[in-house]
Structure 1
Amino acid sequence: MKSTKNKSAQEILSSLTIEEKIRLLNGVGSWHTYDADKKIPSVMMTDGPHGLRKQEDSQVDINDSAKATCFPTASCIANSWDLDLIKEMSGAIADQALQEGVGIVLGCGMNIKRSPMCGRNFEYFSEDPLLAGSLAAAYIDGMQSKNVGTSIKHFACNNQETRRQTSDSIVDERALREIYLRPFEIAVRNTQPTTIMASYNKINGTYTCQNKKIINDILRDEWGFKGTVISDWGAAVSIVDCIKAGLDLAMPDSHGYQIKLLLDAYQKGEITEQEIDRACLKVIEVVLKTTGVKKTTVDYKKTHDLAKKIAANSAVLLKNDGLLPLSKKQKEILIIGQMADDVRIQGGGSSHINAFTSPNAIEALSRKGFKVKYVQGYPGDDVVEITEPTEIQRMAQEAVVAAKEAADKNIPTLFFCGLTNRTEGEGFDRKDINLPHEQLSVINKIIEMNKDLIVVLYGGSPFAVPFADNVNAMLHMYLAGEASAEACADLLTGAVNPSGKLSETYPLSEKDIPCAGNWGNDSPGVEYRESIFTGYRYYETFDVPVKYEFGYGLSYTKFKYSRLEISSASYNASDADEAIGNVGANVGYGEKLSKSKTNLKVKFTVKNSGKVAGAEVVQLYVKNPASDYLRPVKELRAFTKVYLEPGKSKKVTIELDSKAFSLYDVSTNKYIAPTGTYEIEIGSSIKDIKLKKSVKVKGVKYERDDKSKLSSYFRKIKLFTHADFVSLYGKDFPVDEEPVPGTFTIYNSFSEAARLNKTCKKILDKVIERIKTENRKHGRSDNDPALKIVIGGLTENPLEAMILLAGDDFKRNRADFIVNLVNKKRFAALKSLWSKKWD
């Protein structure tokens, strides 16, 4: 390789031919950048984000990757609310990346959890933008401090898996800014992530990779992003439009397809060398930044211990009527549930980590000195659909008999259950929030015989727990990584005091979700009618009962709050447009505070009034004044985690600037703080408020009559009308129509083609069955997440995306064949089959 030492990115750019520049805008293989004929290094990127999923191009199965530490998923560690802990985790992942020669880890995932039924929620942090953005900033800081690049994703409004490659997220400007872009803004302004991954979906009518407003105007010009924008794998359809809009790197290798399109466009004057140079410069910069870093050696015992520490600090104790922690005098326990034997440590899909080790709960509790009796109770996820009903009944009856015997002998009974790979995963969404029926059937029968039941739960997103009132204790582990069972054993025995708090709301039913009816449908346009009322913002504002509120979590000790002081009873927020914002400034993350000397200082004392050491997640909410314009009743504005020995106290100080009182004003395109009386609330959850005081804010006189114009948004009913949403949207409404013969293009999907043409349906069905058959030959179930992703990509990707992803298996001529067939151009379809386009 020709030396790049001491050469600037601009100097390297100047040495490249136009052909090399264009080639640089597309990946090489699945994971590498182009080396420009050895003029620059090539950087390797791999999937993450809760571990390293290094995979070579020859390895086609997403589960076939290098061994690495499987840390808790984003949905799990978010419950720790611990920024230092997530920084420690991402730093450890960076060490493993360095050992494997990886320059960029594709993470973290930070999309807002618009609905708990999104199949990929286990990869995301929260329903709250402040919490999600703060955790992401910590993750980026930890990884980039080791000189390993990050790629925060999926930018943006990628909030469902159903039709994720083609759906159009139709979002009003306030919701876009305050909810869906806000976490990314916090991350960019604070930590400058190395790269940002543009998502598959459209936003307000335009694919994200082609969306100049999102990529260029907001991300680069407004927020000041300096890094590289890369596409999700296969998302850069219509590559010329993507580069002109601000995309820099299209992944993966399109095997010459996108290169030819760009070269043709350049020769025709449809794209300029200046536009190509802009993107090339960003690719060269990221290559220089993430290559040539010294390798390190990883102690996997230490990283396993770190994974256990994180898992233990992230688990949420949902209920405890006194059975936990288990008595040290107890010698025997009964464990029921297949998930105790085969612990679900992570979600399925592109984030799947090939862990070195993962003890199960039976082993972990046996090591604690218990004599464990184990009963399976229900079939495993990989065989449940082929298990005979009589066998399922036999398993359930065996569990009931064992539970009755344990109750008679006063032996603690633990039931392990939760969501499975069959019910949640990348590439598909849930249809309800129920646990698998085979699990519910067993636990309901057990409760009739034994009410002193301890339930251990697993899953990457909320689910209904109809048995909660009839059991004694519930510990939610989420998806806690390779040391999940060991952390669970520590928590159950009191070796570690639970301190996790829910980073998302648990609704009573899927019917109560704010986007119910406008999410996860098999239609091209997705209206975000609930606007800014996502998660707790909806439940609190519209008085909708929930099972477990945002921020909820119990402990084995008690905490007392006292002595709330606010530096001033009034606050001048007239400089709101200059304040970048804040969150948990005392722990060093979130956006930097305004430099104003008049920032509010909120002080209070937290005391551990119990008998064991523990940690409390302190949450600061701001209750907004009543208004005739849309606004949540309260919002999270800061947080920190306090560790205390029994009897000890700590004085906490949190500083707030005008952003704590602000909303996004669409008429001025900036954040403003409306004048009014606000309430500072300090609590251990959004409902459990311990201390509060009012503050009079002098800000902007904000006059909007939303109440008369958007009446459905002010009723205490769970319905936001289409007409009101169109009015709220305030501009030409995107029209996303299903294709019909004559309008079908390569930007439509195979599934759409199958709906319109019988021949296309036969082809698709045949290909899917062939894929399933091949999967079964390798001994894998039809519930295998890897299989679901492949089938989802085949059916839902635009045809052009399939060209980008399939290489020699799907060329442009085959896409043209399908397009012509659907458009009833049979002669053209046959002609395209014999075409050489593009070999």
Structure 2
Amino acid sequence: MRMTSDFADLVSSLDLPAKVRLLTGASAFTLAPEPAIGLGEMRFSDGPTGVRGLKFTGGRVVALFPNATLLASAWDEDAAHEVGRLLAEEAMAQQIHVVLGPTINLHRSPLGGRLFEAYSEDPLLTGRLAAAYVRGMQEAGVAACLKHLVANESETERNTMNSVVDEATLRELYLLPFEIAVEEAGAWSIMAAYNNVNGQAATEQRHVNNDIVKGEWGYDGLIMSDWFATKTAAPAANGGLDLVMPGPDGPWGAALVDAVKAGEVDESVIDDHLARLLLLASRVGALGTPREWPAQLPAPSSHVRKEQLTRLAAAGMTVLKNAGDTLPLDRQQTVALIGRHAVETIDMGGGSAQVNPPYQVSALEGLSALLGDKVSVVDGVDVRTRPVPARGGFLTAPSNGQAGIDVTIYDAEGNELERRFCGLAKTMIGMDDDFAGRPASARLAGIVEASGQVELGVLGVGAWSTSASPDFTLAASGNGFGEEVLTPPYRTFVVDSPGSLLFEATVSFEEMGLYGLVGTMASRETVDVIDDAVRAAAAADVAVVVAGLTEEQETESVDKSTLRLPGAQDALIEAVAGAARRTVVVVNAATPVLMPWLPRVDAVLWAGLPGQEGGHAVAAALLGDIEPAGRLVTTFPSADEAAPAWSVTPVDGDLRYDEGTYIGYRGHFAGKAPSPAFWLGHGLGYTTWEYSDVRLVLGDAPSITATVTNTGRRRSREVVQVYLRPVERDQPVRLVGWKAVTVEPGESARVTVHTDRRMWRTWNAEKGEWGRLADGGEFLVARGLGDIRATVS
């Protein structure tokens, strides 16, 4: 193998234990150096929506980007390339070599809790955006990591479940984004998933990892495990896994050395794994002469980042409905801004995608900055079923008065190990720390600056004592892998605050976990909140209700059970729509939600999870300062269970992908599910369009040309989409290409959409090889499959 020859001398200079030592992480997010061969430390970071750094929580302040579905909704490879480049800058500012992203699993079922990290339900759209992102990142010498290989579209029982997928579906759908990102961008690393695939762990997948990825695709990069995913030594090493994360402990080490000595693993396999690791190190500047990191890069809160992140977020926002040109808003109108998401806008999902941003701008702050006293606000109904660490400065740290809490960590003898300020009112203890002793307890403290009834509480596994309650113990339920970190247990209590109240809590624990303090105003009665909202809506020119999901529903480790908005948000919107002259709903969610109130509101703007500049981006989109020209990347079902693939709950450990290649729009179009509320590709923007002179240009991969005319009054961006409806009855419709163009009002543009040759392939299971669709079929030229503008045979 070429790689082995490139690094043969370095590999052969090490003995077997030294080789194996390098194939497991040295810590949670670093790899061990080996000075004898000029190998320096490599540093990894989670990175779907920001480069968090070497700490799982409470690390340095970094920029919070819009989430993947919002960025993808621009259908813009140039924007994806820019995001990759900006994330590379965020990585270089921290001397990070490898960013763990993009997530390119597909939106199989809309219930998937982690869909907010992934681009789309369509493999071509996902793959091409991922390739652009990877190019942008790796051009700066920072490695991207495609994840999670493969068939990892849901979170329920994710560490033990078995995805049962036929070979054609696996290759045509779920492997295709990885293939495109490898073929077009040469991604330098890939992450193997937690789940099993057809009875074999993803970390042991000889067929996927060795036969397809490294064999058929000729992939020369490195395949690493998801964190704590590797279960075996010899099967994983022989199954194509190159690197076990995290470290320093794991299933390899001495066990893998023994497996080689016992003849279970050939040492040439170890050499190949190490050669791939050294190739990665050479690419990112960790082998030989250490790379020089840029000295001057934009700070997370710089004006440069503010402009970039506002523009990227607003451009992906999608106008789903706009009756009577309600949007953009008239700056002379008075606006009643309503909803909990208006005052606490959700800017990122839960789990490993979370970062520590410099701030998070709410929709209230963003709109008020542009409209001033024309905006009145009504906090909405409760939207959470479990509390979260204090947000928005509700708790301030006694040490410095800043938003957050102080945490002091002790060993079993009561000796102080560390003091830390935690701006997110939570901290990880024991996972990525380097203490002089073993942590055994912690004291958390924050000051409440509010009068009246407040809800205070704690979260984390351990025995608790607080200044506001009797002592108690919190234990994990045992219902999920990593629960102590991703969904820790909690307890809250309502107390009266005189205006300034010190809240202290002490916890004793045995294992690592996430710990934090809860703080918020106590809940009001729903009927009182809705009454306030109705009065405000009736008094204003337009009511803007911001509603959506939270990191309870859109998170790692947990799937949704419904697409309904949590709490009484539907009732709130219905009541406002009945009282307001005009009603706009802003959906602050990354994935589909049900909209029973849709016929009664005038406009709907889908805003995703818009990142640290979220409020500014929402305001810019509502007022038309930046056109929300997004197109949906996921089909929105009209009801629960009204999707081609729905259940995410394994049966006897198996999650069967029985819908095959008919996920999302493919299944709806084939009649395997009712017509959706909104199709993939739907988006209105702020103008209207006419299509004419649509023509087919033949070739190995045909092209479609069309003239598009902006018939509205505003400069706008159109996304011309081309779908293929094959002649074969057992083949679904599929997106084969798209092209975006920006046109002035009254002007026209000639657009050419080059279709992708990979979308003509079909996998022949009997022959074990690729075949090709029959000639014929129809091209559908569309603004989403709900608005087909031309059909070309």
TM range (shorter): 0.7 to 0.9
CA distance in 2, matches of 1:313, 1:361: 16
Q: After superposing the two structures, state which structure 1 stretch, 414-423 or 435-444, moved more.
A: 435-444
What's the counterpart of residue 318 of structure 1?
320
What's the counterpart of residue 327 of structure 1?
330
Q: Which amino acid aligns with 1:540?
A: F
Aligned residue for 2:740, secondary structure, equals strand
**Larger strand percent:** 2
Aligned 8 A contact 1:659 1:673 in 2? no
What's the counterpart of residue 664 of structure 1?
763
Unpaired runs of 5+ residues, structure 1, are 1-6, 57-61, 572-597, 695-839
Give 1:411 shift: 2.4
What's the counterpart of residue 20 of structure 1?
18
Give 1:85 shift: 0.5
Aligned 8 A contact 2:678 2:786 in 1? no
Taking structure 1 as reference, are residues 45 and 140 closer, same or farther at Cα in structure 2, changes over 3 Å only?
same
TM-score, normalization: structure 1?
0.75
1:748-782 superposed Cα distances (whole Å, 9 cap, x missing partner): xxxxxxxxxxxxxxxxxxxxxxxxxxxxxxxxxxx
What's the counterpart of residue 534 of structure 2?
403
Give 1:155 shift: 0.5
Taking structure 1 as reference, are residues 236 and 485 closer, same or farther at Cα in structure 2, changes over 3 Å only?
same
What's the counterpart of residue 687 of structure 1?
786
Figure out how many residues of one structure are paired with residues of the other and give that number.
648
What's the counterpart of residue 835 of structure 1?
none
Matched, 1:50 2:150: no
What's the counterpart of residue 631 of structure 2?
501
Aligned residue for 2:59, secondary structure, equals coil
CA distance in 2, matches of 1:333, 1:225: 55
Aligned 1:581-620 pairs, distance under 5 A: 599-620=701-722
What's the counterpart of residue 533 of structure 1?
662
Aligned residue for 1:44, secondary structure, equals strand
Question: Percent identity of the aligned residues?
Answer: 30
CA distance in 2, matches of 1:187, 1:520: 29
Q: Which amino acid aligns with 1:32?
A: T
Give 1:625 shift: 1.3
Taking structure 1 as reference, are residues 256 and 202 closer, same or farther at Cα in structure 2, changes over 3 Å only?
closer
1:432-456 superposed Cα distances (whole Å, 9 cap, x missing partner): 1111123223223333333621111
RMSD of aligned alpha carbons = 2.1
Taking structure 1 as reference, are residues 601 and 438 closer, same or farther at Cα in structure 2, changes over 3 Å only?
closer
Taking structure 1 as reference, are residues 269 and 480 closer, same or farther at Cα in structure 2, changes over 3 Å only?
same
CA distance in 2, matches of 1:109, 1:520: 21
**2:574 alignment partner, one of 428, 444, 459:** 444
CA distance in 2, matches of 1:406, 1:530: 45
Unpaired runs of 5+ residues, structure 2, are 388-454, 456-490, 495-520
1:388-417 superposed Cα distances (whole Å, 9 cap, x missing partner): 9x975645424434433542x442211111
Aligned 8 A contact 1:97 1:103 in 2? yes
**2:309 alignment partner, one of 299, 304, 307:** 307
What's the counterpart of residue 546 of structure 1?
676
What's the counterpart of residue 407 of structure 2?
none
What's the counterpart of residue 738 of structure 1?
none
Matched, 1:280 2:274: yes
Give 1:77 shift: 0.8
Taking structure 1 as reference, are residues 22 and 386 closer, same or farther at Cα in structure 2, changes over 3 Å only?
closer
CA distance in 1, matches of 2:327, 2:531: 22
What's the counterpart of residue 391 of structure 2?
none
Give 1:122 shift: 0.3
Give 1:97 shift: 0.8
Give 1:37 shift: 5.0
Aligned 8 A contact 2:350 2:552 in 1? no
Give 1:676 shift: 4.1
Q: Which amino acid aligns with 1:532?
A: T
Taking structure 1 as reference, are residues 539 and 263 closer, same or farther at Cα in structure 2, changes over 3 Å only?
same
What's the counterpart of residue 362 of structure 1?
364
What's the counterpart of residue 218 of structure 1?
212
Give 1:53 shift: 0.9
Taking structure 1 as reference, are residues 85 and 657 closer, same or farther at Cα in structure 2, changes over 3 Å only?
closer
Q: Which amino acid aligns with 1:33?
A: L
Aligned 1:37-186 pairs, distance under 5 A: 39=37, 40-56=39-55, 62-186=56-180
1:577-619 superposed Cα distances (whole Å, 9 cap, x missing partner): xxxxxxxxxxxxxxxxxxxxx5533211122121111111111
Q: Which amino acid aligns with 1:535?
A: G
CA distance in 2, matches of 1:129, 1:402: 42
CA distance in 2, matches of 1:138, 1:314: 16
CA distance in 2, matches of 1:485, 1:176: 39
Aligned 8 A contact 1:336 1:399 in 2? no
What's the counterpart of residue 722 of structure 1?
none
CA distance in 1, matches of 2:349, 2:136: 23
1:726-768 superposed Cα distances (whole Å, 9 cap, x missing partner): xxxxxxxxxxxxxxxxxxxxxxxxxxxxxxxxxxxxxxxxxxx
1:23-61 superposed Cα distances (whole Å, 9 cap, x missing partner): 1111101111121355311110100022101024xxxxx
TM-score, normalization: structure 2?
0.79
CA distance in 2, matches of 1:290, 1:671: 35
Aligned 1:219-298 pairs, distance under 5 A: 219-255=213-249, 257-291=251-285, 292-296=290-294, 297-298=296-297
1:228-287 superposed Cα distances (whole Å, 9 cap, x missing partner): 010001111112211111111111114265201112212222222111111111111111
Aligned residue for 1:68, secondary structure, equals coil
CA distance in 2, matches of 1:638, 1:253: 43
**1:336 alignment partner, one of 331, 335, 338:** 338
CA distance in 2, matches of 1:406, 1:166: 49
Give 1:169 shift: 0.5
**Runs of 4+ residues deviating >4 angstroms:** 382-388, 390-393
1:340-359 superposed Cα distances (whole Å, 9 cap, x missing partner): 11110110110102111222
What's the counterpart of residue 802 of structure 1?
none
Give 1:554 shift: 1.1
What's the counterpart of residue 506 of structure 2?
none
**1:510 alignment partner, one of 627, 634, 640:** 640
